[in-house]
Homo-oligomer: A and B are copies of this chain.
Amino acid sequence: MWEALSSNEMVSAPPRLEAFGRRTNRRAGEESALPHTKRVTLSDVAAMAGVSVTTASYILNGRSAEMRISGDAEHRVRSAAERLSYRPNRNARSLRTETTATIGMISDHVASGPYASAMVSGASAAARAGDHVLIIGETEGDPIIEAALIEEMLDRRVDGIVYVTLATTQVAVPAQLRETRTVLLNCVDVEGTLPGVVPDEYRGGRTAAAALLAAGRSERVFLVGEEAAPEVIAERERLRGITDELASAGTALAGTISCRWSVTDAYAAMMSFLDSGGSASAVVCLNDRIAMGAYEAFAEHGLVVPGDVSAVAFDGSELATWLRPALTSVAIPYAELGSVAVEMLLDGTGGVRRLPMPLLAGASV
């Protein structure tokens, strides 16, 4: 019914498998030690099925209807591909199509630190769901490494780049990023043009304050944490949310206990606050570690959480569940941030998305 017209004198009978396995070794004496054994190519499949490479390509790319390929040919090609366990060479395909099914992820300290690495796995999962893979690179905050990594990714013709920062900040992104599709993750573009995704810190702030208000703690509420650098959005927005929520209940923060965002600093600051006669009915800690430091200071002063003093924090890390009593914390949805960023990249969605920060209820309020 059909004629084999393939260039290398093949006729209908499919050659034996073993023969094929070897045929692909073109040059003699090239049995490399460890690396890739020569893999099956499309032309092997075509030859085995007795069709042209063109036809095989159309079939395997699902264009057989459009190209009016007979069911017979289709079946022969598919089973040949199966028997040879053919897998297309992505590099060759990419060269031709200018798409690589690859997403670059450039971060400052995300993968290294334990805090936000869920962004990586969220992104990785979403990439997989969209039939892409993730190339990652860490700049360690060095602009030179950053530039090199971006070049590297552009050289590999990634389909897009996710640019991610550990802290929720405003960033001036390197100009090269505008050469490809880019989505910002956990940061926003100073110029306001690039799409991105961040936690909704403002509403998170309101959530935290609302939790305290619901428990009747509206007086002597202190904020614990440091005023952050101007490019850090998180602190400013959270504070705005807290203030607004308290105001809506006719009250306000009693003050700020200033400290860096670490356990030991928070412990020290809270100790000196308490030592000097300070008294709080509730504290809003800017992250879970600060809350841990505060807990330690409370314990040392015989203060019981939540009886004597309530605490809410931000992050929703595992640490919050480890403390006794478990800490009520407004969570940063890291994994979701990562996956949404990748989805936006693949969809082509624009604008800045703000993801809700869910309240992780503990027993500290």
User: Which of B91, B117, B155, B335 meets A157, CB within 8 Å?
Assistant: B91
Specify which chain B residues have a CB less than 8 angstroms from the CB of A90 in the assembled complex: 155-157
Closest to A140 in B: B125
- Max count, chain B CB within 10 A of own CB: residue among A91, A135, A289, A348: A91
CB <8 Å contact, B318 and A114: yes
Stretch at the interface among A9-17, A31-39, A221-229, A357-365: A31-39
Q: Which of A63-71, A93-101, A248-256 participates in binding chain B?
A: A93-101
For A263, give its contact among B124, B157, B322 (CB under 8 Å). B322
CA of A138 to CA of B145 in the docked complex: distance in angstroms?
A: 25
| Contact A121 B138, CB 8 Å, known A114-B115, A155-B90 | yes
Nearest residue (CB) in B for A160 is: B35
Shortest CB-to-CB span from A158 to chain B, Å, is 10
Q: Which of A128, A159, A267 has the most CB of B within 10 A?
A: A128
B156 touches A34 (CB 8 A): no
Flag whether A299 is at the interface (Cβ < 8 A).
yes
Asked whether A111 and B121 contact (CB < 8 A) given A94-B91, A179-B37, A263-B322, the answer is yes
Residues from chain B with a CB closer than 8 A to the CB of A155 are 87-90
The 8 A-B residue pairs with the shortest CB-CB distance in the complex, in nearest-first order? A114-B114, A112-B121, A117-B117, A263-B322, A111-B120, A91-B94, A111-B121, A91-B95
Sample of 6 A–B contacts (CB below 8 Å)? A36-B154, A102-B156, A111-B117, A133-B156, A134-B137, A263-B321
